Amino acid sequence: MRLERCLALLAVQLYTLLPNIILAVAGNDAAIGYEYYGRDELSTTKIKSNIISQTRFSPEPNSKIIFYVHGFLAKDLDDGEEGGSGSRKMKDEIFEKRPEVDYVVLVDWTRYSDVHFSKYRDVTTTKVPRVAASVGNEIERLIDTYSVDPSEITLMAHSLGSHISGQVGRNLKAKGKELGLIIGKYYIQIVVYHKARCPKLS
């Protein structure tokens, strides 16, 4: 009984470390990209956002940041895969409906998601852990470099992106960096995985 318990705990630890092991062996995944947007405070007639290069993206420690992860079958960040909105459209809605948000980061894993549905199993088993590891590393970079409070970071996602976000949240929590909120949207259903401190998009 004790051996079975130890093996079960070991399996959980290996599952948590798997994405980091993958990236450690393969290096940073060039197939995964990020777009950074900041709220345009000078706009008075309509909410606008400015795209920011990664080298210029330097948030304040108390900045409220949302990472948005699109789902399976998305062809690009303007494509609303089945039942969802395009990432860039979702970014505009976030800035409009969440006035407390300072930045939105769009995760672009379309080089993996834009495949035939028959590849779904392969994507979930081999690509999702890579994307989760990459997103986790980017969030850790913001925490470690700019002292961003993890509780001020929200992960929003659609469809398979929700599974990616769940992995990111578990991996970071295991490192003592628990995010404030993770929201996964499956078509019209919204599921809250972590502390529901912020209002949902409606």
The pLDDT tens digits for 161-186 are: 999 999 999 999 999 999 998 887 65
Whole-angstrom distance, CA of residue 37 vs CA of residue 108: 13
Nearest Cα neighbor of 168 from 87, 159, 47, 178 is 178
The pLDDT tens digits for 99-110 are: 999 999 999 999
The percentage of the chain sitting over the pLDDT mark of 90, rounded to a whole number, equals 51
Task: Report helix, strand or coil for 80.
Answer: coil
**Pairing mode, strands 65-69 and 189-192:** unpaired
Mean pLDDT of 116-127: 90
The percentage of the chain sitting over the pLDDT mark of 70, rounded to a whole number, equals 71
Assess whether pLDDT exceeds 70 at residue 59. Answer: yes
Give one DSSP letter per residue of 119-133, joined into a string: GHHHIIIIIHHHHHH
Assess whether pLDDT exceeds 70 at residue 60. Answer: yes
List of residues 6+ apart from 185 with CB closer than 8 A = 84, 156, 157, 158, 159, 162, 191
C-beta of residue 163 within 8 angstroms of C-beta of residue 126: no
Instruction: Report residue 6's pLDDT band, with 50, 70 and 90 as the boundaries.
Output: low
The pLDDT tens digits for 33-54 are: 999 999 875 444 455 677 888 7
Fold of 2-192: Rossmann fold (3.40.50)
Mean pLDDT of 177-199: 61
- The whole-number pLDDT of residue 197 equals 42
Instruction: Report residue 14's pLDDT band, with 50, 70 and 90 as the boundaries.
Output: low
Mean pLDDT of the chain: 80
Instruction: Report residue 192's pLDDT band, with 50, 70 and 90 as the boundaries.
Output: very low
Whole-angstrom distance, CA of residue 124 vs CA of residue 39: 33
Domain boundaries, the chain: 2-192
- Please, what sign has the CA dihedral across residues 54, 60, 62, 63? negative
- Residue corresponding to tokens 């290069």: 53
Instruction: Report residue 202's pLDDT band, with 50, 70 and 90 as the boundaries.
Output: very low
Task: Report helix, strand or coil for 52.
Answer: strand
